Chains A and B, each alone.
Chain A
Amino acid sequence: MTAVLADPLAARDHARAMAGTVVEAMPVLPPVANDLPAGVAADDLVWEETIAAGGYATRRLARGTRLRLIDLRGDACASLLVFNADMPTERLNVADTVKVQWNAYLDAGKLLLSDMGRVLMSIVEDEAGTHDCFCGPSTPTSNARRYGEGSNSGAQPSARDRFLLGVAKHGLGRRDVHPCINLFKGTRIEADGAVTPMVGPYAPGRHVTLRAEMDVLVVIANCPHVLDPRDDYVVTPLRATAWRGAATPTDDPIRNATPEGLRAFQNVDDHFRR
Chain B
Amino acid sequence: MSDDPYLTGLAGEVTHDVVVPARAPWLHHVPAGATLRIVDLEGNQAVDFLLYAAADDAERYSAQDTIAAQGNLFLRTGSVLRSSEGRAMMTIVASAVDYHDTIGGACSCESNTLRYGHHTKSQHACVENFLEANLTEGRGKRDIVSNINFFMNVPVEADGALGIVDGISAPGLTVDLRAEMDVIVVVSNCPQINNPCNAFNPTPVRMIVAA
Q: Which residues of A contact B (CB under 8 A)?
A: 89, 93-96, 98-100, 102-105, 113, 115-118, 133-137, 139-142, 160, 173-180, 189, 191-195, 226-227, 260-261, 263-264, 267
Contacts and interface: CB of A to CB of B under 8 A. Distances in A.
Nearest to A98: B162
Contact of A179 (B62, B111, B112): B62
30 contacts: A89-B140, A89-B141, A95-B147, A99-B103, A99-B111, A99-B164, A104-B156, A113-B114, A115-B108, A115-B110, A115-B141, A117-B108, A117-B109, A117-B111, A134-B73, A136-B64, A139-B65, A139-B85, A139-B86, A141-B87, A175-B142, A179-B62, A189-B73, A189-B156, A189-B160, A192-B74, A193-B74, A195-B67, A226-B68, A263-B113
A179 B68 contact: no
Contacts of B108: 96, 115, 117
B162 A103 contact: yes
A106 to B, nearest CB: 9
A261 B111 CA distance: 11
Contacts of A178: 145
Contacts, number: 140
Interface string B112-143: 11110110000000010000000000001111
B166 to A, nearest CB: 16
Nearest to B109: A117
Contacts of A195: 67-68, 71-73
B111 to A, nearest CB: 5
B18 interface: no
B201 interface: no
B38 interface: no
- Interface size bucket, B side? 35 or more
Given A104-B160, A174-B58, A193-B99, A99 B72 contact: no
B64 A102 contact: no
Given A179-B64, A195-B73, A173 B160 contact: no
A193 B101 CA distance: 10
B144 to A, nearest CB: 7
Q: Which of A142, A193, A195, A260 has the most CB of B within 10 A?
A: A193
B68 A135 contact: yes
B177 to A, nearest CB: 19
Given A103-B161, A104-B156, A191-B158, A136 B68 contact: yes
Given A141-B86, A178-B145, A136 B71 contact: no
A58 B160 CA distance: 30
